[in-house]
Amino acid sequence: MSIKQEDTNRQNIIELRNIDQSYDGGQTFIIQGLDLLIEDKPDQGQFAIILGMSGSGKSTLLRYIAGLQKPTNGKVLILGQPVSDDNRVSMVFQQYSSLPWMTVLDNVALGLRYKGVARKARKEKAMELIEMVGLAGHEHKYAQYPALSGGQLQRVAIARSLLANPHILLMDEPFGALDIRTRLQMQELLVDVWHKFHSTIIFVTHDIREAVFLGDDIYILKSAPSHFAAHIHVDLPLERTAAIKRDAKYEVLVQDVEDAMLRVSEL
């Protein structure tokens, strides 16, 4: 079964085409026959959530898109082209990925440094992102704990990824290790990022309530051999605030996703 957006005349942002993944020469497959098409939504962007049981390959799909891993078979396309250094996409992990021997400012500016952007220009652009994610005043601290909290370290990673490529952002359970208050704050920050940059965000989580609050489309993977077995469009206003979590429609959608997860787990 293939779950993907309807193929229209809009530009394709990300396409996974007939993906297989085997680690034993094809005797068994972790992922098999997987397709996903995510098209551009001009002046809006989109927030696609990937859900699935542990071991279903959620993180592996992000690694394909980021160019960190190649599938056994199939094609991975970014803006219609194979993944390369020219269209590489940044990824925010659950584990803090900042370089602890560098300051917040230098971490955020790192992508521009590798692109050869002059020091003054890259630091000016980095400061814009640092201010946006609420880290102004921390730019000269080293990006490590306890100088920064867990939530602040994830803000560094988000700012660095946005500066490298504001159009596509990959996030692999980025808030899983945060306390509930910080997690809720980070969810609202991410909604702000989405609407400011009109980014296409691909977000892996195990938290169904988080998925419904953040996503406008949710894709559910069945267990190995994995492929997408369900797609749920989240029919909520694009402007998400904490108040929406008290809405009856939100609760119905959470239940719908829970039910879909249970059905998929039985396939």
Q: How far apart are CA 58 and CA 60, in angstroms?
A: 5
Alpha-carbon dihedral sign for residues 71, 74, 79, 83: positive
Mean pLDDT for the stretch of residues 30-54: 91
pLDDT of residue 99: 85
**151-164 mean pLDDT:** 88
**Quick check: 234 and 217 in contact, CB under 8 A?**
yes
Which pair of structure tokens corresponds to residue 156? 């560094």
Mean pLDDT of all residues in 114-137: 89
Answer yes or no: is pLDDT of 9 > 90: no
> 6 burial class (0-12, 13-18, 19+ CB within 10 angstroms)?
exposed
Strands 168-172 and 200-204, sheet pairing: parallel
pLDDT-derived band of residue 178, with 50, 70 and 90 as boundaries?
Answer: confident
State the pLDDT at residue 3: 53
The predicted model gives 236-262 an average pLDDT of: 93
**Using one digit for the tens of pLDDT, what is the confidence trace for 83-101?**
887 777 888 887 767 888 9
pLDDT number for residue 2: 44
Q: What is the mean pLDDT of residues 140-160?
A: 90
Report pLDDT for 259: 96
Distance separating alpha carbons of residues 41 and 10, to the nearest angstrom = 8
| Mean per-residue pLDDT of the chain | 89
∠ CA 214-21-96, rounded to 5°: 45
CA distance 215 to 200: 11
Mean local confidence (pLDDT), 113-132: 88
Average pLDDT estimate for 179-198: 88
pLDDT surpasses 80 at 267? no
* pLDDT, position 1: 40
* Mean local confidence (pLDDT), 25-47: 90
* Beta strand ranges found along 120-251 (DSSP E): 168-172, 200-204, 217-221, 228-233
Work out the pLDDT band at 18, boundaries 50, 70, 90. Answer: very high
Give the whole-angstrom CA distance, residue 254 versus residue 231: 14
User: Would you list the DSSP string of 21-32?
Assistant: E-SSTTSS-SEE
Residue 142: its pLDDT value, please? 93
Overall average pLDDT of the 143-153 stretch: 89
Strand-pair category, 12-21 with 73-78: antiparallel
